[in-house]
Amino acid sequence: DVKVTQSSRYLVKRTGEKVFLECVQDMDHENMFWYRQDPGLGLRLIYFSYDVKMKEKGDIPEGYSVSREKKERFSLILESASTNQTSMYLCASSLRLAAYFTGELFFGEGSRLTVL
C-alpha cells in the first residue's frame, strides 16, 4: 500500500517566517507534486518533480520553492510566509509509466497552514 507522509498536519506561522513542508513517499515513485487546496478553487499545482534534483513550476509557483535531494523526499519552502498562503497543502506522488501515460496520484493527508 502506497504511503505518502506529510510531516505536519497543522502549522501556525507568522508573516515573514520561513516555512518548510516535508513529504516522504515509500513506493519508489519517480514523480512528486505539491498542490494547494482552497475552497472553490480546487487543487492547484505549485511545483512538481520527476527526478532527484529536478523541478518544474506548476500553475502557481510564486512565493514558493522546492527541494528534492532524495527520491523519496520532496520539500515545499515558503521563503517568507504571507497571509494569502494560508491554505491546505497536499503532497502527491506517482509512478513513471510509459511515455504519454499518466499514472495515479497518491496523496498525503495534507498540511493545513495558517499564517497570522
Partner 1 sequence: GENVEQHPSTLSVQEGDSAVIKCTYSDSASNYFPWYKQELGKRPQLIIDIRSNVGEKKDQRIAVTLNKTAKHFSLHITETQPEDSAVYFCAANINFGNEKLTFGTGTRLTIIP
By the criterion CB under 8 A, which residues form the site for partner 1? Answer: 31, 33, 35, 40-45, 48, 50, 56, 58-59, 90, 94, 96-97, 99-105, 107-110
CB 31 within 8 A of CB 97: no
Closest CB to partner 1 among residues 17, 106: 106
Q: How far is the CB of 28 from partner 1 (least distance, A)?
A: 16
Residues sharing a CB contact under 8 Å with residue 91, sequence separation 6 or more, in sequence order: 4, 6, 21, 23, 25, 32, 33, 34, 35, 74, 76, 107, 108, 111
Q: Smallest distance, Å, CB 14 to partner 1?
A: 26
Comparison of 78 and 92: residue with beta carbon closer to partner 1: 92
- Specify the residue, 12 or 54, whose C-beta has the smaller distance to partner 1: 54
Q: Which three cell numbers stand for residue 72?
A: 523519496
